[in-house]
Chains A and B, each alone.
Chain A
Amino acid sequence: MIIMETTIGGIIYEPGSSAKTKTGDWRTFKPIFDNEKCKRCGICQKFCPEGIISINEQGAKANMDYCKGCGICAEECPFKAITMEVEKK
């Protein structure tokens, strides 16, 4: 019985495939973006450990599928445009 199909040498041929794992489940807090205050400076983007913050004319937004709720973005935002709230599940 084959329990699991594996590749030769365990080589992984699908770059970036960890995106299948949604680490958003881990979260206790979530960032709330106030796009009135957001100046689109990009600082939150540079320091996000997950690389999941996108910024456009409307403002900043995190991909909540992956956000672990660390709060670095809120801590580093110079305009206090991000606040952390308890995630209600």
Chain B
Amino acid sequence: MSEVMEGSHGVAHAVKLCKPDVLAMYPITPSTHIPEGLAQLIADGKMDTKFITVESEFSAMSACVGVSAAGSRAFTATSSQGLLLMTEVVYAAAGMRLPIVTVIVNRTISAPINIWNDHQDTFAERDSGWLQIYCETNQEALDTTIQAYKIAEDAGVLLPVFVCMDGFVLSHTYEPLEVPEQNEVDAFLPPYTPKHAFLDPNKPITQGPFAYPKPYAAMRKELSDAIMNSKTVVKKVHNEFAEKFGRAYGDGIIEEYKSDKPTVIVAMGSVCGTIKEVVDERDDIGLVRIRCYRPFPKEELVKALEGKENIIVFEKDVALGMASGALYHEIKSILAGKNVRINNVVGGLGGIDTTKKNISNFVDRMKDQNDKIEFLRGDPNE
């Protein structure tokens, strides 16, 4: 069924279809419309879920950990400072192997305080053990939220997932969205019946123990292996979803868009829509969009970037102290030793617009360069 709705409400509808047992939510711009949408669905009797109005994002994630550890399905959403406040719990949730799904409506981080979109909030969590999937459109955010539970709860994964959508650009935009039917989602996503983590007096177990160095190191290695192995599940679930619902996003890990050119842009999130238009308008560049950023799609990217002459990494984050973005270095590391020029644009910080003109201009400027790093400052003709 196609319905015109705001991106945030699309996510709220997706969450409803996943039938979580408990939500624990705290408002923060620009993610606030998700809890508002869910609260309304519950108030209208359309959703049978307990909504905990916690006193902070820190407690939102803490309550989600409690819900998931008790063996139930949990959900929260946040942005920016809210995610940073959760950080300590974010790491614990992954270490405890709890399949919590969280939608991050990406927003920049303080200081100075600013409410608009970039990816610095989720980049601050990139080593936390959570999967991170970045969406280009509201439809993708809706679909990915449903996929996320199936990925997280897969017996071979058992890890939490961040579904990332750009603040305002997506979250506050109205457009027609396909909302799947409940019976279709029920057939796709079975109820959560955990075998590893629960809190049952008939089978008392201990979760979150203290570990000496050897078991600690072993558990961290296992966590590292688990998130790397989850990539096949991300792909499998994406393909199954595509087959059932008729919508695909590349191969579920990356999306190659007219990328059979010597010059390609590597980017994530909603800016890929703008980049695709530029790609359509000029015939000398292509796009490789990273959808699944954690686990990092090393093999997929190496394959997609094989034989390229020039790569421009466009990213909405800055690795302070490295004078560049963080993704740029990751791309460089997987292509080490290859004969390819790699350049970097740190763009969109604090929500500055990235125009088609900007993209075309930096392609022209960087095409023949190597290791060139530019920070976009917001001039539409820059």
Contact = CB atoms under 8 A, between A and B. Distances in A.
A–B touch (CB < 8 A): the answer is: yes
Interface of A: 2-13, 15
A11 B218 CA distance: 13
A10 B209 CA distance: 7
Contact of A9 (B204, B207, B214, B218): B207
B91 to A, nearest CB: 13
9 contacts: A2-B218, A3-B217, A4-B218, A7-B196, A9-B96, A9-B196, A9-B207, A11-B97, A12-B209
B368 to A, nearest CB: 48
Nearest to A4: B218
A3 to B, nearest CB: 6
A13 B215 contact: no
Nearest to A2: B218
B222 interface: yes
Interface residues of B, number: 20
B205 A12 contact: yes
Given A13-B205, A15-B204, A15-B205, A8 B218 contact: no
Contacts of B196: 7-9, 11
A9 B97 contact: yes
B98 interface: yes
B229 to A, nearest CB: 12
B222 A6 contact: yes
A8 B214 contact: no
B207 A4 contact: no
Given A7-B196, A8-B222, A10-B208, 13 more contacts: A2-B218, A3-B218, A4-B215, A4-B218, A6-B215, A6-B222, A8-B158, A9-B95, A9-B96, A10-B211, A11-B197, A11-B206, A12-B205
A6 B218 contact: yes
Interface string B210-229: 01001101110010000000
A8 B197 CA distance: 9
A6 B204 CA distance: 18
Contacts of A11: 97, 196-197, 205-207
10 cross-chain pairs, A with B, having the tightest CB-CB distances, nearest first: A9-B97, A12-B206, A4-B218, A6-B218, A15-B204, A9-B96, A8-B196, A6-B219, A8-B97, A4-B214
Nearest to A18: B206
B206 A15 contact: yes
Contacts of A10: 95-96, 208-209, 211, 215, 219
A5 B218 contact: yes
A84 to B, nearest CB: 31
Contacts of B197: 9, 11
Contacts of B208: 10
A79 B263 CA distance: 90
A25 to B, nearest CB: 18
Nearest to A5: B218
B58 to A, nearest CB: 21
A2 B95 CA distance: 19
Contacts of A8: 97, 158, 196, 222
A18 to B, nearest CB: 10
